Amino acid sequence: MTNRTWTADALRDHLQKAVYLELWTIPIYLTAAYSLQVPGTSAANPPKLTPVRSPKNPNRSREQLAFNNIYSVVVQEMLHLEIAANLYNALFAGKGYSPKLTGAWAPRYDRGFPPWIGAKVPVQLGPVNDAQLLLMTTIETPEPKSDGPANGPEEVYDSIGQFYKAIDQGVDQLWSSLYDPNADHRQKSEFADPQYPGDDYTGFSATIGGDSQTARAQADKAIKAIVDQGEGSVGPFIEPDLRPEDGSDIQDRFSHFGRFRMVQVMLRLGGALKTYPTSGSDGLAAAQKALNETYTALLYSLEKGFAGDADLDLGPMWDLPGKIVSVWAAGGVPAFQPLDGSDAAR
């Protein structure tokens, strides 16, 4: 973009990239989390979030502690994906657009960071080790204090935090001209809704709708949740109204960067964590195929759901753990390759 003035096309492009970016992080973190050989787990019984605060807890292990920190971030990235897609739809669904998650917009991991983020750390899918934690902390690195205010849409941003600061500016400038309170905004809510105390998050809404003022306040809080929980956080602790309601989720008090730093400290002070070896086996090809089929089904179900063509089906998401562990147990690194031959995001 040579014109640094916000336009509807520029903002829609940025929101599509936000959807891609949130989805892109999920296989990276899932692959690492399920590489851990948590005692008592297997492909048939994948690791789960298990509170282990007490040293006397029989489920306590370094691997379980590391898994808790990484997987809890995955759950919030699913929330962030939902928020990004809902924000896209709040402004553009009424104009006939919907976020894309397949084809050219299916995540790729063989060409470094998405081209609109200027990070230079190598990108790969892999187990919990020093190199992978460097990648994960780089993704979640707080926006540098030296970054100035947003100045219109950019081609490349120094950090994900800076990228979201630009989106916030674009939303601020174009909201009144783009938001139609009478449109079908195709909103989906699986995680955050103040009206339902049973939801994980009730301090803010993942859905955006109603009159312009109400919807604008929801959008501002939703963007703040993405930034404060992860990309763009300015400190280790998440504000109380942006955390899950369940106070026992102690890791969710910390930003994504803080949680990954904890795992880095575990590696530096306690040595390597136990992960699956990658020696290969006769069952590896079948395990990879099963994972890729499930992943492809997830991408299509998400795209159809946010397009308003179907309910948001997260069934394939919850089927992924066993498929991922099966690949690790067969001696391979999960590939997450869609079966439709999709190209890299543009």
pLDDT digits (tens, 9 = 90+) for 75-96: 999 999 999 999 999 999 999 9
pLDDT for 208 equals 95
- Mean pLDDT value across residues 53-73: 84
Q: Is residue 1 part of a domain?
A: no
pLDDT at 18: 97
The fraction of the chain above a pLDDT of 70, given in percent, is: 85
**What band does 230 get if pLDDT is binned at 50, 70 and 90?**
confident
**What is the per-residue pLDDT for 142?**
82
Q: At what angle do helices 212-229 and 160-178 cross, to 10 degrees?
A: 180
- Is 326 within 8 Å of 287 (Cβ atoms)? yes
Distance, in Å, from the CA atom of 19 to the CA atom of 167, rounded to the nearest integer, reads: 12
Q: What's the CATH code of the domain at 25?
A: 1.20.1260.10
- Asked if pLDDT for residue 19 goes beyond 90, the answer is yes
Cα separation of 322 and 310, whole Å?
25
What is the pLDDT confidence band of residue 346, given thresholds at 50, 70 and 90?
A: very low
Please tell me the total number of residues recorded for the chain in this structure. Answer: 346
Q: What is the mean pLDDT of residues 55-61?
A: 72
In whole angstroms, what is the distance from residue 53 CA to residue 50 CA? 9
For the chain, the domain total comes to 1
For residue 33, is it within any domain?
Answer: yes
Q: Which pLDDT score, from 0 to 100, does residue 312 have?
A: 82
User: Beta-carbon neighbour count of residue 297 at 10 Å?
Assistant: 18
Whole-angstrom distance, CA of residue 231 vs CA of residue 208: 21
Whether 338 is covered by a domain: the verdict is no
User: How many angstroms separate the CA atoms of 44 and 31, rounded?
Assistant: 16
* Banded pLDDT at 342 (limits 50, 70, 90): very low
Mean pLDDT on 171-182: 97
Distance (Å, whole) CA 50 – CA 125:
24
Selected residue with higher pLDDT from 235 and 126: 126
**298-314 pLDDT per residue, tens:** 999 999 999 998 888 88
C-beta separation of 222 from 205 below 8 A: yes
> pLDDT-based confidence at 239, cuts 50/70/90?
low
Residue 81's pLDDT is 96
Please tell me which of 129-143, 152-166, 321-335 the model is most confident about, judged by mean pLDDT.
321-335
pLDDT at 49 over 70: yes
**Domain presence at residue 339:** no
Range of the domain at 81: 8-282
Pair 184, 173: CB distance under 8 Å: no
> Does a structural domain hold residue 218?
yes
**63 within some domain:** yes
| pTM greater than 0.85 (yes/no) | yes
**Residue 157 β-bridge partners:** 117
Residue 47: per-residue pLDDT: 94
303: in domain:
no
Residue 235's pLDDT is what? 56
Q: What is the mean pLDDT of the chain?
A: 88
* Residue 189 near residue 218, CB atoms below 8 Å: no
> Is residue 340 domain-resident?
no
pLDDT-based confidence at residue 55 (cuts at 50, 70, 90):
low
Q: What is the pLDDT of residue 193?
A: 56
Which residues contact residue 271 at a Cβ distance below 8 angstroms, ignoring those fewer than 6 apart? Answer: none
Q: Is the pLDDT of residue 343 over 50?
A: no
Q: Is the pLDDT of residue 243 over 80?
A: no
Question: In which band, very low, low, confident or very high, does the pLDDT at 280 lie, cut at 50, 70 and 90?
Answer: confident
pLDDT band (50, 70, 90) for residue 104? very high
